[in-house]
A and B are shown apart, each in its own frame.
Chain A
Amino acid sequence: MNALESANKIKAKFGDLVSEPTEFRGEISLKLSDAEKIFDVCSFAKKQLGFDYLTDICSVDNHGETPRWTVVYHLRSTKNAAELRVKTDVSEEKSELPSVIGVWRTANWHEREIYDLMGIRFSGHPDLRRILMWEGYPYHPLRKDFPLAGKPTDLPGVAFTKVTPMEGGPFVTLPSGGDSIEREPRVRVPEGAERAVSDKRRISK
């Protein structure tokens, strides 16, 4: 059974909750409209359609749009090498969806990572702690509104409590009609610090 057939079976089972499968570069994606049903969809995909392997869970911050979060699941069947992507949106107010640890145990660390870096909670997760940042760190750094240079924290005795010096990059030349000083921010001044040149330097892409 290939990925498209599997996607159609999920569509047949869950009806209007699931969008029509879309294809891009040979990959099949499904969008689930109700994040609360993600456990049921994953459980169905594993038990009935043979998607025994969870490759990855990823989160996307659609900053400025509603709903704000998209959580992306990459499913795979090791027997017939079919791959399927299931996406679901989560609103900023809620920022919570069911955990899929009951389906694949590998979801444990992926969900902890998303909670840590993006701040989306997984209900039913037995051990939802930070994983990459340290315990007690107050922010979720992969959010689009978190500045690249970091934010100062007032935790005493912990490293990295100040913002990073940004001299020397990373920098991107922005496409715009401005002059070359505008377009080529060699030094991007961290948010909150005093700005030497004018202020139209937010990455818009």
Chain B
Amino acid sequence: MAQVQDIEIRDSAARTAHAAEELCDMQGEKMVLNMGPSHPATHGVLRIVLELDGEVITKADPDVGYLHRGDEKIAENMTYTQFIPYTDRLDYLAPLANNVAYALAVEKLLGIHDKLPPRCQYIRVMCCELARISAHLLGLGAFAMDAGAVTVFLLTFTEREKIYNLAEAASGARLTTSYTRIGGLSRDIPPNWCDQVRQFLKEFAVALAEVETLLTRNRIWVDRLRDVAVVSKEMAIDYGLSGPNLRGSGIEYDLRKNQPYLCYQDLQFDIPVGTVGDCYDRYLVRMEEMRQSMRILEQCVNKIPGGGENKSKEPVNVADGKITLPSKQKVLSSMEELIHQFMLVTEGVNCPPGEIYFGHENPKGELGFYINSKGGGTPYRLKIRAPSFVNLSILGELLPGCMISDVPVVLGSLDFVMGESDR
């Protein structure tokens, strides 16, 4: 007895469709994962909308602005000096460097940026480099902690504490330093400050070496960082990266060397650059930058005009009564100084009309101030070019292709701070 059996032979188009259906089942659906704004690895209020295929990121959309305070709008409504405390709160891990950047921008508008007294320049450089070490230490500690190395965080925070003490001794405040004034500083450094810096450098060299032994050749650390989130030279420039992130990609561009300001051309230091542009390179660049900052600080404490005690009474402010406040003694005894004091406090430093841009090499990158002045004591428009804002814009391109577990490492290696990004 014959048996009949149906055999189905599909045409090629139907077969392809069927295969695609099977493949689709295998791939599963893509998942959208919302990371942040309150996530421990985003260090602040960054939100990233991730589209995942399994564990691999296929699309990333960073969402910033949760910390927007309207600093630029506020700046238009106050005098130049009144805005200095707001700069503390931009990159709140390095307020001293922000103060210097802002003061230099306004001084450039006034045309006195190259007439600053040498002692003031040296103190400002020391402030910037201490801020750089402090910011890198926090960035590194948090970076390592996200990758599972909690010990590093404890070490770096011990050292940061010492920098806070130095900032307090100089400016009177640990975090909200507001140390600079237009044309100088709020006050000279205390007599034993340089010795304290020397002492700090001695202790810090030991701690940095210890961090180095914990991380640089650590198998887990290297495996998690190497070849992750590679930024090519072209990509780094195209996205306007700055600071260690730009140099990590192998571009030797540092505003301290390329457009020297303050007394940086009198100091010896090197600019470290990476070769590959991955997270590991960015880590190495930051480590070396801290060592170079130590070199700069050592030179500064030895070369500072007047020495630590300032026995020769070197000035720290520009000798111009229309820019810096006179001493209280003179205000109470002299007519002209009284008028200057009154005008400076009530109307602010009288700036000429014009527009300037000043970029400062901050720990996170290039902190730039564009000031558009119509004359008088308040800026008509003040734009803050925040390095973290620009550095974060690369995330949408950098994250796709990474694993989801790479995200904390990539964020840590970009080392951003939202206070500055969102302004």
- A→B interface (CB under 8 Å): 24-25, 27, 29, 52-56, 58, 60-61, 72, 74, 78, 81, 83, 85, 104-106, 108-110, 113, 117, 130-134, 141-142, 146, 148, 169-173, 175, 183-184, 203, 205
Please name the residue on chain A nearest to B372 by beta carbon: A60
- Residues in A neighbouring B354, C-beta threshold 8 A: 24-25
Please name the residue on chain A nearest to B251 by beta carbon: A78
The one of A55, A134, A141 in contact with B359, judged by C-beta atoms closer than 8 angstroms, is A55
Question: A74-B370, A203-B378 are contacts. A106–B357 as well, Cβ < 8 Å?
Answer: no
Nearest-Cβ distance from residue B407 to partner chain A, whole angstroms: 19
- Residues in A neighbouring B380, C-beta threshold 8 A: 60, 205
- Residues in A neighbouring B376, C-beta threshold 8 A: 175, 205
Q: Is the CB of A170 within 8 A of B82?
A: yes
Interface size range of chain B in the complex:
35 or more
Q: Is the CB of A61 within 8 A of B389?
A: no
Nearest-Cβ distance from residue B3 to partner chain A, whole angstroms: 63
Nearest-Cβ distance from residue B256 to partner chain A, whole angstroms: 12
Q: Is the CB of B82 within 8 A of A58?
A: no
Q: Is the CB of B240 within 8 A of A55?
A: yes
Q: Is the CB of A133 within 8 A of B68?
A: yes
Chain A interface mostly = loop
- B→A interface (CB under 8 Å): 64-65, 68, 70, 72-74, 76-79, 82, 108-109, 111, 237-240, 251, 253, 258-259, 346-348, 354-357, 359, 366, 368, 370, 372, 374-378, 380-381, 383, 385, 389-390, 392-393, 397, 422-423
- Residues in B neighbouring A83, C-beta threshold 8 A: 357
Question: A54-B240, A55-B357, A170-B82 are contacts. A61–B393 as well, Cβ < 8 Å?
Answer: no
- Residues in B neighbouring A141, C-beta threshold 8 A: 70, 73
Please name the residue on chain B nearest to A173 by beta carbon: B346
Q: Is the CB of B238 within 8 A of A106?
A: yes
Q: Is the CB of B237 within 8 A of A53?
A: yes
Q: Is the CB of B356 within 8 A of A27?
A: yes
Q: How many angstroms from the CA of A74 to the CA of B385 in the assembled complex? A: 11
The one of B82, B109, B385 in contact with A25, judged by C-beta atoms closer than 8 angstroms, is B109
Q: How many angstroms from the CA of A77 to the CA of B392 in the assembled complex? A: 22
Q: How many angstroms from the CA of A110 to the CA of B393 in the assembled complex? A: 9
| Additional pairs, 13, CB under 8 Å, beyond known A60-B372, A130-B65 | A24-B355, A55-B359, A55-B368, A58-B385, A109-B389, A109-B393, A117-B72, A132-B65, A141-B73, A146-B73, A172-B82, A175-B347, A203-B76
Q: Is the CB of B77 within 8 A of A203?
A: yes
- Residues in A neighbouring B64, C-beta threshold 8 A: 131-132
